[in-house]
Amino acid sequence: MNAPDAPPERRPRVVIADDQELVRTGFRMILTARGIDVVAEAADGAEAVAAATRHRPDVALLDIRMPTMDGLEAARRILATVPGCRVIMLTTFDLDHYVYSALSAGASGFLLKDVTSAHLAAAVRLVDTGDALLAPSITRRLVERFAAGAPHPAARGADAPRLHRDLAPLTPREAEVLGLLGRGLSNTELAAELTLSESTVKTHVARIFSKLNLRDRAQAVVLAYETGLVAPGAND
């Protein structure tokens, strides 16, 4: 008996937004060569929002600094109007202050523009599965830097989204799990810390995400700090 054919690999649908045509072209060629469909390109944030609304992509790659409308505002609008879309921010700085606001708004992570071809494609596929692009420990350091009261107005000003969500829907155990997520613990580390199985931990994490309408672990870390569940600098 012949073995059944393997199911075809999923082809995520992507919108690329960058004001540099060369960057867009390079990213499109890289992603297309790796089985990822680029359904639209945009030269600014307004075009990105329009393209995402029209094409309903799985992932939007957004440059932070663009004319007309920057990537941060575009991310807010795309995440509000295309619920199934994941956002990856593109930046030339590994701790750009706008990235913190993007994470608060629901972006799933960020990439440097000098990312390798393999990493770019892997990142798109990763967030397409619903995971966060940033490792929890990296996210924690980023959040601590800006949630602790960094003076930069773009990080703490009126335009910076704040979660401040009510944690009342969580059980005491779920609140404990969220606090540990905020400290950057993986599921394996959570299981060891709480003396639970990894499957039970995964169930707790899934319920937290559902109750608080969180997209991924990156946003869970942000929420843990912004609600005061975890204090910046704790448990280092």
Look at residue 172 in the predicted model and tell me its pLDDT: 92
Residues 124, 179, single domain; the answer is no
Mean pLDDT, the chain, integer = 82
Residues 45, 85, single domain; the answer is yes
pLDDT of 10 over the 90 cut: no
Please count the structural domains in the chain: 2
Residues 102, 42, single domain; the answer is yes
Closest CA to 55 of 25, 84, 22: 84
CA distance 75 to 58: 13
Residues 24, 116, single domain; the answer is yes
183 found inside a domain: yes
Residues 90, 197, single domain; the answer is no
The tens digit of pLDDT for each residue in 11-62 reads 999 999 999 999 999 999 999 999 999 999 999 999 999 999 999 999 999 9
Residues 220, 113, single domain; the answer is no
CATH of residue 72: 3.40.50.2300
pLDDT of 162 over the 50 cut: no
49 found inside a domain: yes
Structural domain ending residue among the three candidates 102, 133, 164: 133
Residues 163, 98, single domain; the answer is no
Domain with 102, as residue range(s), is: 13-133
Look at residue 103 in the predicted model and tell me its pLDDT: 77
Residues 57, 114, single domain; the answer is yes
CA distance 109 to 157: 21
Residues 119, 219, single domain; the answer is no
Residues 129, 167, single domain; the answer is no
Task: Tell me whether residue 119 is exposed, middle or buried, using C-beta atoms within 10 angstroms of its C-beta: 0 to 12, 13 to 18, 19 or more.
Answer: middle
The tens digit of pLDDT for each residue in 53-101 reads 999 999 999 998 899 999 989 999 999 999 889 999 888 766 556 667 7
pLDDT of 163 over the 60 cut: no
CA distance 178 to 217: 9
Residues 17, 128, single domain; the answer is yes
CA distance 143 to 233: 10
CA distance 91 to 76: 17
Closest CA to 163 of 145, 143, 181, 185: 143
Residues 101, 49, single domain; the answer is yes
Look at residue 114 in the predicted model and tell me its pLDDT: 84
CA distance 143 to 101: 10
139 found inside a domain: no
CATH of residue 181: 1.10.10.10
